[in-house]
Amino acid sequence: MKQPDPDNELTYFSTTTLFDIAKEAYRRSISSKHENQLCNDALVAIVFATSTLEAWISQTIFIAKKWTKKPPKIIEAFATLLGELDSNKTSASLKIFMSHWVICGKRLDRGAEPYQSFDLLVDIRNSLIHLKPDKVGTEHIHKLLLQLKSKGLISDFDPKALRMCWVLHISNPHIAKWACNTAASMIQQFVKWPSEEQVKQFFELGANALYFKPVE
């Protein structure tokens, strides 16, 4: 009896759709009244922008495994190593770090942009998604807000009031735009990293990296 092809059992949801949702949320946030109240569209942008990059990496690993053209050795290595990490549900941050190592042959400077912003974005998303209202880590949230303030994305805040209103500070169009552009910039890095033209073309065309452009 012929065994079913597991690839034919997959349901596809394009990563570009996730990014479009994030961008549309940002555009809605521009016209939202967000002073002293939650701007839900900004929060949507944060969550979907982060999910965009996480999904794009997993989707790109899948495409690399199925690449019909004779793949360069780097793409084979990318598919093998990153495929193992993806199967083990490794974090997107580690997959990016290892991707850079495979593609460039050297360590990634995680303190540089846009990697620093990406780590911050993931941290903010996780703080939202895994929020425990009765157990807010005030010190951790304070650190996140200080980082956002240093980037000019939020104004001054009262550290004593963080337990009550820290989400208000990230509910603004500036954060929404930054979230979308951080995800786009990270994906664009995969096109900038390779020195080999075939590898660059894989990420440009095979993985559709050029679709993910920063919002104006």
Q: Report the 3 state secondary structure along 155-209.
A: CCCCHHHHHHHHHHHHCCHHHHHHHHHHHHHHHHHHHHCCCCHHHHHHHHHHCCH
Q: How many CB atoms lie within 10 A of CB 109?
A: 10
Q: What is the mean pLDDT of residues 178-185?
A: 98
DSSP 8: G
The predicted model gives 37-51 an average pLDDT of: 89
Q: What is the pLDDT of residue 132?
A: 64
Residue with the larger pLDDT of the pair 101 and 130: 101
Domain borders along the chain are 37-211
Half-sphere exposure of 173 (CA within 13 A, CB side): 13
pLDDT at 80 exceeding the cut of 90: yes
Question: How far is residue 26's CA from residue 206's CA, in Å, rounded to a whole number?
Answer: 27
Tens-place pLDDT, residues 138-150: 788 889 999 999 9
pTM for this structure? 0.87
